[in-house]
Structure 1
C-alpha cells in the first residue's frame, strides 16, 4: 500500500500496543515501523533494474525481518527514552507489530509480499489497489481523533480501536466484492462459450467498484472489466501472448526472471523494431483505448554479451490525466 496508509496502520498498531503507557510516542514509533519495510526501494536504487524488481517486498516484508528487527529497534528506542515507563520488551513488541502489519496489508495488493521469505512463496490476494481512499481516510480520521486525547482517556482507545475495526471491515468487504466480481467474469465466459485455463482478477485504481480480469485461453489472453453499475454484458479484448517474437531470447535468464516476477502472466509486444515485456498482472491504463498500454512494461535490449537488459517504460503525465478521466467514467457503468 501507499506510504500514508502504512504510516496510519503502523501508528494505530503502536497505539494499540503501547499508547496507554507512552501516549503519542507509541504512534510516532509505530508510524516509523510501518515505513521501514519499504526502504527496500532505496536499496534497489543501487542495484540493476531487474534485481531491484525482484527484491521489492522480499526480505523486508517477511515475518523473519519483523522478528529480527523488532528487538534491535526496541533496544535502541528504550535507550533513547530511558525515563519512559515502557520496557525494552514493550518497545520490541510495538516494533514487531508495526513491522508485521505492513506486509500483512501489502499481501492484499496485486504485487503481494514474500511474507514467508526465504521460502519462494508470494502472498498476493489482489483485493485492494495500492491506494484506496475508502480504506485510508476513515482510518486516518479515527487516528487523529485518538491522537488529540490524553493517553489515559478511554475515548482515545475507543477511537483507535474503531479505526482498526472500520479499516479491517472494509478489507473484508473488498474480499467479498472480489468473489462477486470473479463470479460475474466466469459467468460471462461461460455464457460466451469461452474455454479458458486460468483467470486472474483485481480491482481498478483507487476503488473496488470496477474490477479487471485476465483470462488465459492458450495462445492468448482475454482482458475484461466489470463495474457493479454495469448494465451491459462483459466483453473481452484478445491479446496474443506472442512469445515466439522473443526468438533465441525466449529461454534467456532475463526473460525467465521477468516471467517469474509476472507469475506467468505476460505478453510480448513489438514496437518500432523493439521488444517489450508486458506484465499483465497490473493491467492497462485504459482498456477502451485502441492501442493498449500496459502499466508495467519493460523494453528488452540486447547487450554486448548477447544477453538482455531491461528498461522500464516511462509514464506520460498528460496521458495519465486522460486515464483518470476515463477511469472515473468507467466506474459508473457501461
Structure 2
C-alpha cells in the first residue's frame, strides 16, 4: 500500500475537526477493526482493546456508529448473506465472511505459535490489537510494523484509550521497499529467534515479486520453528472483469490490488510456487470459494469460473524447520 486517503469525504464533513478519522491513514485498516469490534459486542470474540480503539477513533461520532450498526448487528445474526461478523451456519467460507473467517484463522495460528515462539511480529499491523489481548504479560519480543501515517494515528489512539502497550516496538516501513526488513532489525528484532509473523491484509497490495521477497526475508531472519500466517486473493478475483467495480474502489482510495495467487493448478500448487525459493514449507490452508454461499453454476455457464467453485482467496500458514532449510 503506497498511499492513504481520508475516509469518504461526505462522512468526514459530519465529523468534529479533531476526530481521528479526519487524519490520513489506510482506509482498509479500519474495516478489520470494525469487524472485530462487532464480534466483540456479539460476544463471539472478546476484544476489549478493539472496543476501546473504535470508541476513541470515532470520538463524538461513536454514538452515531452504534446507532447505525445496531440494526446491522441484528441483521447479520439472522441473515446468511450478511456473514461479516456472525457465527458460521455452515462449514463453507465465503467472500462475504472472509474478514470474520480470517480473524478466527489467525487467532488460532497465533495461539498455536505462542506455545514456542520468542517473538511476534504483526506486519501491516493497522489497528490490530492481538499483541495487547493475547501477548500481554508474556516474555516475548513484540513488534508492530506499518506505514508511518496509519501507525501514527494508531499510537495516538492507543495513548488516548489508555491501552497498555507494554514492550511493543513500533517500526515504520514500506513493504514495497527492498530493505524493509532492515527497518525491523533496527527496531530491535533479534535474528535467528523463533518468530511468528502475521501478514494480514497486505499481500494483494504488493507485486508477486515483493510478496516472494517478503517471504524470503522472513525466512532469512527467523529461527527454526518459526511460522508465518497470511491471507491472499486469487488471480481470478483480482483480474476478472466482473470484479472491476471492486478493484476500481481500491484504486480510488489509493490502495490498488496488485497480486493474485495463480490457482489454475490448485491453490496448494500456487502457494508452493511463491515460496519455492524461500526454504519455507506450506503448513495449513483455508480457502474462500464462493461470494455469499451460492451454488456452483453449470460448467457451460461459468466461463471464467468465479462462480463455479474456484478459489477466490484464502488464508495460510507457512513454517520453517530444519528439513526444509535451503
The alignment's TM-score, normalised by the length of structure 2, stands at 0.32
Q: Which has the higher helix share?
A: 1
The TM-score normalised by the length of structure 1 is 0.31
Tell which has more relative contact order, 1 or 2 (C-alpha 8 A, sep 6+). Answer: 2
